[in-house]
Structure 1
Amino acid sequence: MKKFILCLLFFAFLFNVSAQFDANYDESKVPEFKLPDPLKTFNGQKIRNYKKWESKRRPELLNFFTENMFGEVPGDLEIASVDILEESNNALNGKAVRKQVDLVFKNRGKTLDFTILIYLPKTEERVPLFVGYNFYGNHTITEDVEVIISEAWANNNPSFGIINNQLTEQSRGVRTNRWCVDKIIEAGFGLAVIYYGEVDPDKDDFSDGIHPLLYIDDQQQPAADEWGAIGAWSWGLSRAMDYFEQDEAIDESRVVVFGHSRLGKTALWAGASDERFAGVISNESGCGGAALSKRRFGETLWRINNRFPHWFCKNFRNYRKNEEALPVDQHELIALIAPRPVYIASAEEDRWSDPKGEFLGALYATPVYELYGKKGIEQTEMPAVNYPIQNTVAYHIRTGEHDVTEFDWEQYIKWASEFIK
């Protein structure tokens, strides 16, 4: 009987802890918090111009996010070889050039490769480019039957015909709605996509993917301040940029990194840590992305670190249930992209990602952009649904759920056409 009572008490304790950190969708329950000033150093020094930002404040913020959130890449790993797997000058009903490029990496007797699917408009000029990851393989973003199906591990999704963690023909074209390839090409942009599972499988297991290539001796897990999955995916985007610098058809000075959800977090970190990207689009990135952590609205640091412990470095777990101890917040991650253009987007029904927190992330990053004479978010109230704010710092909230839609891409193309010079 005593054991039974103790068991009941234990489960009651677990229930209460879980309830305490359930997703909050009530603005009246958002705790009071003081947002750190992006223009004040950790020791209290005021930053008054962009030179001081670049020499003092930006380095310390970048270092903090590296050591305590996304993790450091523990070494250099260059492209060992570039293999053109397939190319055509008659793709998308004759409107585009298609390339499928395999980047190969080797170290410590191990090999990893990932494939970039590239569509480019037919032109003699070097073209600007959107680059981003997809969730279920390059073949899912188009009905183009020539796109190679990845053999990498994938999360099961029976509705897409994905079982036993294997991608199949059944999933070809199931995510065409998220990419609007024709609109991108018609606007004069190229598109490059990568299946994120080829760089690092999205599971709490660091025995595969890119991590083992940089382990030391008998290491089995990244150290507490070393890269998690988001750090690895960001690394992969930078290696894609290494390739773009070699491709004479691509204008490497006008490459915009795009991401949705967890890959929206990835896009922000890639843009913050690699200044070669000309702009960043973060679509509904939520907690750990554009949304302010200290609001504790929707997904929280406690939930994200427990459900997806592999996304961030282990040091980030020090702040779960302890957001008030964070000396930074996500507006400062966005600010690290300055003065390059950045677009933050939300969806009205995606409360888990905290649309207001995402808007505030963009708003409170604006003072850093103003140091450069760039226009950010000037209004303190969220814009009306489906009425974008398009400045160097851009934002919109649209109708609908957690997704990428044609409306989103129409705004991104319009914005990039104006601000990616």
Structure 2
Amino acid sequence: MKRLLLTTSIVFALFLICSQTARAQRPKPNYDEAKVPQFTLPDPLLTSDGKQVDSAELWWKVRRPEILRLFENEVYGKSPAAPNNMLFEVTSQKNDALNGKAIRKEVSIYFTGKKEEPRMDLLIYLPAKATKPVPVFMGLNFYGNHTIADDPEITLSTKWMRANQEKGVVNNRATEKSRGTSASRWPVEQIIDRGYGLVAIYCGDIDPDYDDGFQNGVHALFNKDGKSKPAADEWGTIAAWAWGLSRAMDYLETDPQIDHKHVAVMGHSRLGKTSLWAGAQDQRFALVISNDSGCGGAALSRRRFGETLNVINNAFPHWFCDNFNKYIDKEDELPVDQHMLVALVAPRPVYVASAQEDQWADPRGEFLSVLYAEPVYKLLGTSGFGAKEMPDVNQPIKQRMGYHIRTGKHDVTDFDWRQYLDFADQHFQGS
């Protein structure tokens, strides 16, 4: 027993040493625009064999599939198709939640068609007075659906979670103190009052956010030929989360209370990277929102500003496919950049948001991705972006493409949500 304890202590000590070494070797981030290197972005309207894309037909038949394959093979990894035999189960419903304003229900999605793990739980709020199917915002959350609102009737997640004392997480599990701890990021009543519903999903239901060799979560359901992990061009965790969002959409298509033709997918930070990739792949998402998504999300990789490919791939080796590592400190060799990810959403509305104090996520790089995606939106006959320079702080741009940079830090705020709700009104009402 003593030998076992000693061995465990040595392993943990070595882990700490390796972690500290990795942090010590982390490149110093650049926050100086003058030090941003010169770069040339790949043209979203130029095919790999050098042909100019000058028609919507050529975009849909040739260039868009080409770009999608490049992101699959080199950045996020290829994901499997939807399972043939998923099971949907409504596990709770309350028709007078939020003092009578809302219907609140919980739905479990079993990926194998049997009541077994892994499963994904949806928390759904809908306006109680709605007389027809309602449009909804769908988003992943970091610490469980029970954090969305301080409601003791919401099922407390039992899944693994990142350590966070402020969120009431003890030994990587939620406690009763976790309830409502993320409510500031999810203004449920405001969403309901504006006539929308909300679908919330804990990202860890799909895949835990740590590097475990993909032994937990949905990856293990799809390992091929006896392999224990995805191949170098197959899905990482961000792709798995995006796949889960599409499986939630599969359920929404069966729910008569939800207008599945008007679903806005929204994500913050790493989950903003996820919402963009989900929206790029799955055109059933009618509106796509990225909130402070940064590197691997909306920010241009070639700028090497704030978080870089070197940092993100070493700190979070599970997020992307292994092929993405080829481009560490070699961003100019990437066959794509993130403006092309934004372009894959076209012609559907897309909104990218930044925060003034969130230099790590490179607000200017996020703005430029929208700007350089605009030619695709214009080609497809939309109003595009309509801006050439970054707007002033708290002065949003809202055409077919939206952008704002607000005061404050890396977070989701009421200001952000007001813009998203207004943007949805602009594109959903009357359609």
Give 1:351's aligned residue: 359
* From 197, 202, 221, the counterpart of 1:190: 197
Give 2:75's aligned residue: 69
CA distance in 1, matches of 2:334, 2:225: 33
CA distance in 2, matches of 1:204, 1:79: 28
Deviation per residue, 1:328-385 (Å, 9 max, x gap): 1100000000000000000000000000000000111111000122122222210000
- SS in structure 2 at match of 1:111: coil
Q: Could you list the runs of 4 or more consecutive aligned residues of structure 1 that deviate by over 3 angstroms after TM superposition?
A: 14-19, 107-111
The size of the alignment, in residue pairs, is 408
CA contact (8 A) 2:82 2:247 kept: no
Deviation per residue, 1:289-323 (Å, 9 max, x gap): 00000000000001100000000000111111110
| 1:151 CA displacement | 0.7
Give 2:290's aligned residue: 282
* From 233, 251, 262, the counterpart of 2:259: 251
Deviation per residue, 1:128-184 (Å, 9 max, x gap): 010000000101111122111111100010122212110111011111110111111
Give 1:158's aligned residue: 165
Give 1:181's aligned residue: 188
CA distance in 2, matches of 1:107, 1:93: 35
| 1:17 CA displacement | 9.8
| 1:43 CA displacement | 1.3
* From 339, 356, 359, the counterpart of 2:347: 339
* From 40, 46, 53, the counterpart of 1:40: 46
CA distance in 1, matches of 2:363, 2:389: 12
- SS in structure 1 at match of 2:103: strand
| 1:103 CA displacement | 0.4
Give 2:10's aligned residue: none
CA distance in 1, matches of 2:264, 2:287: 5
- Shift of the 361–175 alpha-carbon distance from structure 1 to 2, 3 Å rule, reads same
Amino acid at match of 1:77: P
Give 2:332's aligned residue: 324
- Shift of the 269–17 alpha-carbon distance from structure 1 to 2, 3 Å rule, reads same
CA contact (8 A) 2:86 2:113 kept: no
CA distance in 2, matches of 1:111, 1:145: 24
Deviation per residue, 1:201-257 (Å, 9 max, x gap): 000011110001111243211110110000100000000000000000001100010
CA distance in 2, matches of 1:173, 1:83: 24
Give 1:214's aligned residue: 222
Give 2:402's aligned residue: 394
Pair 1:130-2:140 in alignment: no
The percent of aligned pairs where both chains have the same amino acid is 54
Pair 1:141-2:169 in alignment: no
Give 1:380's aligned residue: 388
| 1:36 CA displacement | 1.2
Alignment of 1:218-233 (within 5 A): 218-233=226-241
CA distance in 2, matches of 1:80, 1:404: 32
Gapped runs of 5+ residues in structure 1? 1-10
Amino acid at match of 1:48: D
Gapped runs of 5+ residues in structure 2? 1-17
- SS in structure 1 at match of 2:403: strand
Task: Give the structure-1-normalised TM-score.
Answer: 0.94
Task: Give the structure-2-normalised TM-score.
Answer: 0.92
CA distance in 1, matches of 2:158, 2:136: 26
- SS in structure 1 at match of 2:124: strand
Give 2:36's aligned residue: 30
- SS in structure 2 at match of 1:242: helix
| 1:15 CA displacement | 9.8
CA contact (8 A) 1:376 1:392 kept: yes
- Shift of the 229–388 alpha-carbon distance from structure 1 to 2, 3 Å rule, reads same
Pair 1:121-2:127 in alignment: yes
CA distance in 2, matches of 1:249, 1:132: 18
| 1:110 CA displacement | 6.9
Amino acid at match of 1:414: D
